Structure 1
C-alpha cells in the first residue's frame, strides 16, 4: 500500500500543477487580444456560467428569470422581473461572481474519481441543453452552448478516462476563473454591455449594501482563491 501511494501522489501533484497552469494561462490570455480571440468559445461559456448564476439566484429569491442573452464579443446579461429588496439585489450580483467559481471548484473536485468525472460531464451537458431551451434568447448562445453540451456528453460517453479527467479539470478551471476574463471588472464601477452602460456587479453590491466596490472586489477575489485552493486540496485526496 505505501508503494501504491508513492506512485499516486506524484501523479496528483502533477495534475494539480496542470490545473493551476490552466488557470494562470487562461487569465493571462484573456488580457490580450490574441488570447481573447483564441479563447472566445470558452469566453462565451464563461458568460453562460456568470449569467446563469445571476438568473437562477434571482429566481430562487422570487424573481422571474426571463431570458439570458450572450453577445458575440463575450458580454451578456440575464434579465429578470420582479422587485428584489436591496440585500437580494446584492446576493444576485454576488452570485454572478461567486457562482461560477463554486461550480468550477466542484468540477475540479469531481476529477478525483472516474464516476464523479463522468457525472460532472453529463450534468454539464444536460444543464447546457436545458438552459438553452428555457432561457437563452440569442443566436450566439443557440449555436455555441449546444456544441459545448454535445462535446461534454460525447466525452462522458466515449472518451477515455484520461480525457474525461482533463476535460473536467479544464472546464472546471474555466468556471472557477471566469470572472477574470476582464481582470478590471471586479475593481470597476461599470462597463458596456450590448452597447449600453451598465454597473459592474461589485458596484451593484456597493449600491445595495455599504463599503465601496473595490472592497467587494477584493473580498470576492479572496473567496475565489480560497475556493480553488480548497478544491485542489480535496481533489488530491484518495
Structure 2
C-alpha cells in the first residue's frame, strides 16, 4: 500500500478496484452503442443525460442566461431549455462554451471526482453535496416524469451512501460516478460526430469556430479519454 494512504486518506487502494472501474467503463460504453443496451443500464443512461443537460444549463446561467427546464425522456435522450436576451456574456465564445459544456463539462467534473477520492472526507462531502444538488435540480429544473423519478431515486441513493456507507464504499462510489461522468460523452457517440441538421453540439460549435464538426468530435473524444486516464493514474499511482 502506498504511503499516500493513511487514516485520513483513501483506504480503498488496490488494483482490483481500478480493474473494476475500467471494466465498468468499457461495459457501459459498449452497451450504449448496441440496440437495447441503454435499457439494460437504464439508470446510468439517464444519469449521463442529466450530467450532459445540466452542464448545458449551468453554463447558460453562468453566462447570464435563463435555464428554464431540463427534460429527460424515456428513451434516454434529453434537452436543456434555456433563453437569453441580447447575447450571452462573451458573445459568440459564450455560445461555444454553452454547446461545449454538454459533452465536456461532465468529463471535467468527473475527473475532479476521481481526484477527490484520494481524500475520504472530501469524497464524503462531494457525495452529500451531489445528492442534495440532484434533488434541488429536480425541484427547480427537471420537468419530465421519468426524469423526476429516476434522478430523485439516484440522488437519495448517493446521499445515503455519502452519509452512511463505509469508507471503502464511499471512495469507490465517488470514483464510479467520476468515471460515468467522464464517459457520458459516449452515450450517443454517433451524435457527437453527426451534423444532425446542424443542431448537434459539435455542429453548433463548427458554425462559430469554422472547423468542421467532426474535428470538434475528435477533440472532445480525445480530451474526455485523456481526463479519465490521467485522473485515474493520479488517484491510484501518484505519490
Structure 1 unaligned residues grouped into runs of 5+: 191-196
Task: Tell me, yes or no, if structure 1 residue 52 matches structure 2 residue 58.
Answer: no
| Counterpart position of 1:145 | 151
Aligned partner of 1:124 among 130, 133, 139: 130
| Counterpart position of 1:212 | 212
In structure 2, what is the Cα distance between the partners aligned to 1:130 and 1:213? 34
| Counterpart position of 1:61 | 63
1:44–1:198 Cα change, 3 Å = farther
Deviation for aligned residue 1:40: 1.1
TM-score w.r.t. the length of structure 1 is: 0.89
Superposition map of 1:156-167 within 5 A? 156-167=162-173
Given that 2:195 and 2:203 are in contact with CA atoms closer than 8 Å, whether structure 1 keeps it comes out as yes
Superposition map of 1:1-238 within 5 A? 5=3, 11-82=13-84, 83-84=87-88, 85-190=91-196, 199-236=199-236, 237=238
Given that 1:86 and 1:209 are in contact with CA atoms closer than 8 Å, whether structure 2 keeps it comes out as no
In structure 1, what is the Cα distance between the partners aligned to 2:139 and 2:2? 47
Deviation for aligned residue 1:115: 1.1
CA RMSD for the aligned pairs? 2.3
Moved over 3 A (4+): 3-8, 10-14
Given that 2:198 and 2:204 are in contact with CA atoms closer than 8 Å, whether structure 1 keeps it comes out as no
- The count of residues paired between Structure 1 and Structure 2 equals 230
Given that 1:51 and 1:78 are in contact with CA atoms closer than 8 Å, whether structure 2 keeps it comes out as yes
1:7–1:127 Cα change, 3 Å = closer
